[in-house]
Amino acid sequence: MFTAIGNSTGAITNEKVRMIEKFSFCTLRKEIVSCRRCPRLVDWREQVAREKRRAYINWDYWGKPVPGFGDTRARLLIIGLAPGAHGSNRTGRMFTGDSSGDTLTRAMWKSGFANQPESVSCDDGLQFMDAYLTAVARCAPPKNRPTPEELTNCRQFLLDEITHLDGVEVVLALGHLAFQGYQMTLASMGYQMPRLKFSHGEWYSFPPPLPSLVACYHPSRQNTQTGRLTAEMLDAVFQQIRTGLDG
C-alpha cells in the first residue's frame, strides 16, 4: 500500500553541514566501535562476550558496538533494532550469525541485494549491492530492549549515516522501534513529520529530498516461528522495493 505524505519540510543548519563534512564512513566506524556512552549496554555486551554461548565457546566474541555494513552508494537503506547478543555481538557485523540474519540475507539475495543467501561471519564473502544495513541501537541490549535514553545516545550515528548515504531512495524499517527511531532521527534533522502508523508492508512517499519509507515486521525468531512474518511476506516486501527502485 502506498501513502503519499505532503508538507514534510526540514533543513540542515550550516553548523550541522560543517559537522557532517568532517566525517567519513571510516571515522564514523571508529567512533561507533569505541562508544561507551551507555553503561548498562557496555556491561551487558561485554558480559555476553566473556561468558559466551556453549555453541560458540571457541569464538572470540566481538563484544563492542556494531557499525553499519553495505554499499555506501546504496539506494536502499535497511534499519533494524539492535545487534543480537550471540549474532552481531559475536561476529561484529549487522544481522550476521543468527536466525534473523539468515532470514534477512536470504530475502535480500532473492531480490538481488546480496551476492549470497547466508550471513555467517565477517569473512564469509557477503556483499550487498545497492543496499546498506544499519540499526537504531549499536550494542546488544538485555532482552533485546534498549531504553529510550540509550536509543537517544545512539541517534547521532544513524543521523551521520543518513547524511552520508545521499543516494538513498527507499528506507526499510524492520520493526516498530526502527520505524519510530528513523522518524525521530528525521525530526532531529529539522523535518516536521506527521505521525505515521506502523503497518507491515505500508509504503510512505514523501516530497523530495526525503526517501520513501517502508514498514516491515522484524525478521526475529519470535516473528518467524509464530508465523507473524513468513518468508513469503518478507520476499513480497523486497520485491515491492525492487520494483519501486527499478520500475
Kindly list the structural domains of the chain, giving each domain's residue range(s) and its CATH number in brackets, ordered by start: 8-246 (3.40.470.10)
Per-residue confidence (pLDDT) for residue 49, from 0 to 100: 97
Which letter, b or e, does each residue of 155-190 get, where b requires 16 or more Cβ atoms within 10 Å of its Cβ?
bbbbbbbbbbbeebebbbbbbebbbbbbbbbbeebe
Q: Tell me the HSE value of 151 on the side-chain side, using a 13 A CA sphere.
A: 20
Q: Are 179 and 87 in contact (CB under 8 A)?
A: no
Average pLDDT of span 79-90: 98
The mean pLDDT value of the chain amounts to: 92
Residue range 47-66, pLDDT digits in tens = 999 999 999 999 999 999 99
Residue range 182-220, pLDDT digits in tens = 999 999 999 988 889 999 999 999 998 999 999 999 999
Per-residue confidence (pLDDT) for residue 74, from 0 to 100: 97
Quote the CA–CA distance of 246 and 208 in Å, as a whole number: 18
Share of the chain above pLDDT 70, in %: 91
DSSP SS3 for 175: coil
Which residue stretches of the chain are H helix? Answer: 14-21, 25-33, 39-51, 88-91, 99-110, 148-164, 176-188, 221-226, 231-246
Per-residue confidence (pLDDT) for residue 42, from 0 to 100: 98
CA distances from 54 to 29, 58, 59, 67, 148 (A): 30, 9, 10, 26, 32
CA nearest to 135, candidates 75, 211, 79: 79
DSSP string, 202-231: -EEE-STTSPEEEEE----HHHHHHTSS-H
Quote the CA–CA distance of 60 and 107 in Å, as a whole number: 28
Confidence label for 77 from pLDDT (cuts 50, 70 and 90): very high
Average pLDDT of span 34-57: 97
Per-residue confidence (pLDDT) for residue 5, from 0 to 100: 55
Confidence label for 176 from pLDDT (cuts 50, 70 and 90): very high
Per-residue confidence (pLDDT) for residue 12, from 0 to 100: 45
Per-residue confidence (pLDDT) for residue 192, from 0 to 100: 87
Per-residue confidence (pLDDT) for residue 185, from 0 to 100: 96
Cell of 11: 533543513
Higher pLDDT, 5 or 124: 124
Which residues lie closer than 8 Å to 30 by C-beta, 6 or more apart? none
Instruction: Indicate whether 9 pLDDT > 80.
Output: no
DSSP SS3 for 132: strand
Q: What is the pTM of this model?
A: 0.91
